[in-house]
């Protein structure tokens, strides 16, 4: 999306590719999920962010919002395509393959819902930036400078408050896609 809006930062960095190896970060993609599973029995999935320069994107904050939406919407589209395959193949594929497709749907819906939380540096915050007043933008910039540390702190402090609505939205979308 950033490339189509005029920013070639990802292309220059060799990240405009479908090669999954280019999107793996040792700490956030490999070690963090292992540590989270060992400590809390829940993986925390993170890919290396695709770089972009918000100053090179057309339409200013609205272009940046479109860039932020591109990843989560891709996850939702992948879940939708997998749900179509699931429904069309329910009588012709083995239970194991159907279970794999179901997990693929679950993971993509979860990533979509989680990334749409309007908290920096998650993608949903990009949409909020486009419409937020300057005072809120300044607070969000300070939070964003903390990176993933801010998200981990918020999740630990507010999991009991944030968890139920996130799980509810997640389950609702999965039910819409798979169980209609």
Q: What is the mean pLDDT of each run of 10 residues along the chain (180 residues)?
A: 92 87 85 84 76 91 93 95 94 92 94 92 91 93 88 82 90 92
Q: Which residue pairs from 22-30 have beta carbons closer than 8 angstroms and sit at least 24 positions apart in sequence?
A: 23/47, 23/48, 23/50, 24/48, 28/148
Distance CA(127)–CA(163), nearest Å, equals 21
Q: DSSP letters along 7-59, please? A: --HHHHTT-SSS-GGGG--IIIIIIHHHHHHHHHS-----PPPPP--GGGSTT
pLDDT the model gives residue 99: 94
pLDDT the model gives residue 32: 82
Closest by alpha carbon to 49, among 128, 151, 129, 138? 151
Give ∠ CA 142-147-150 in degrees, rounded to 5. Answer: 75
pTM comes to 0.84
Structure tokens at 144: 């964003």
49 contacts: CB under 8 Å, gap ≥ 6: 121
Residue 5 and residue 57 in contact, taking contact as beta carbons nearer than 8 Å: yes
């Amino acid at each position: 999306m950033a490339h189509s809006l005029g920013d070639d930062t990802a292309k220059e960095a060799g990240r405009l590719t479908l090669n999954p190896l280019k999107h793996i970060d040792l700490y956030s993609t490999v070690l963090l999920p292992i540590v989270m599973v060992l400590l809390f029995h829940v993986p925390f999935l993170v890919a290396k962010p695709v770089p972009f320069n918000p100053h090179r994107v057309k339409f200013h904050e609205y272009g940046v919002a479109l860039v932020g939406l591109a990843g989560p919407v891709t996850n939702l589209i992948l879940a939708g395509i997998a749900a179509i395959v699931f429904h069309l193949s329910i009588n012709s594929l083995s239970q194991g393959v159907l279970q794999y497709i179901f997990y693929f749907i679950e993971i993509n819906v979860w990533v979509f819902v989680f990334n749409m939380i309007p908290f920096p540096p998650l993608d949903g915050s990009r949409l909020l930036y486009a419409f937020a007043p300057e005072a809120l933008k300044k607070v969000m910039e300070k939070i964003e400078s903390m990176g993933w540390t801010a998200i981990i702190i918020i999740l630990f402090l507010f999991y009991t408050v944030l968890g139920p609505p996130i799980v509810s939205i997640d389950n609702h979308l999965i039910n819409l896609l798979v169980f209609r």
